[in-house]
Amino acid sequence: MSNQIAPTSDKQVPLTQPPKKGSSMGFFSRLRSNKVALIGGYLIILFILIALIGPYFTVYEYDKVDYSLRLLPPSTDHWFGTDHNGRDIFTRVIHGMPISLYVGFLSVLLGGIIGIPLGIVSGYYGGKIDALIMRIMDILLAFPGILLALALVSVLGSSLNNVIIAVGIFSVPAFARIVRGSTLATKKLEYIDAVRALGATDLRIIFRHILPNIMSPIIVQATLRIATAILAASGLSFLGMGAQPPTPEWGAMLSDGRRVLFDFPHVAFFPGLAIVLVVLVFNIFGDGLRDALDPKMKK
């Protein structure tokens, strides 16, 4: 009888390993099932390609002024028409694509670099550290994002780099709060107690066991935040606080077009349409990512 009883105490080690979250194939399968999100992902790739190579294939120069061509309607020579300085609007929209994506990606990266460590430290250690960090985040959240960014740019000065800093700072609370909540939920799992009992340091637990398991909400938040960042940066440029002429930033182009909005609507319509499309595509793709990465959506 004793030969039939196998010792199991030394084999029960699953608690030292994080629970499996499903294969990458399952994730892509769920993402492919969301046709709208899939289209959004393809369009994001298209926008990135346009931003990388599009400016090299435009016929006109984005900053060349020719008053003999001012305010021409859309035509075969000028697909989107020309603005009040005779500049080709299609060329300026194409050259504005890398600027908007640059601002969106870099500002979100800055917000994540600051917000993610703050959220992890707050959620993991708790206590007074958690209270201090979260009260600072509450102060930042008390201001509407665009107003906070506007105040920061007013202090730092009007420039594209300062817009990135301002938008990045007002993105910090969103990352910090989401990461804190995910960290609180993850650190209570049994495998975290197991690795701690085995002598793992706090840094090892955070970087090897907690951070990899909270990446899903971080990725979703970053994708959705890019759309918010592009919209905020365009709003600041619209108010004259962002990119300065002759930089073909979409918000600044939209601001120029409002002066002749009723007589020549195409001047404002096409930059505005570009902003709407890019923001909409990132939001759609972010929603699709959230559904694909949500454990409740998994079979």
Residue 15 within any structural domain of the chain: no
Quote the pTM value.
0.83
Q: Which of 223, 273, 282, 285 is nearest to 96 (CA)?
A: 273
Residue 70 within any structural domain of the chain: no
pLDDT > 90: what percent of the chain?
51
**Band (216; pLDDT cuts 50, 70, 90):** confident
Asked whether the CA dihedral 224, 114, 169, 253 is positive or negative, the reply is negative
Give per-residue pLDDT as tens, 122-135.
999 989 999 999 99
Give per-residue pLDDT as tens, 79-134.
999 999 999 999 999 999 999 999 999 999 999 999 999 999 999 998 999 999 99
The total of structural domains in the chain comes to 1
Residue 112 within any structural domain of the chain: yes
Angstrom distance (rounded) from CA 160 to CA 154: 13
Residue 31 within any structural domain of the chain: no
Task: Read off the CATH number of the domain in which 189 is found.
Answer: 1.10.3720.10
Residue 35 within any structural domain of the chain: no
**Band (28; pLDDT cuts 50, 70, 90):** low
| pLDDT beyond 50 at 7 | no
| pLDDT beyond 60 at 21 | no
Range of the domain at 203: 99-297
Residue 226 within any structural domain of the chain: yes
Q: How far is CA 161 from CA 98, 104, 195, 236, in A?
A: 14, 12, 43, 12
Residue 227 within any structural domain of the chain: yes
Residue 40 within any structural domain of the chain: no
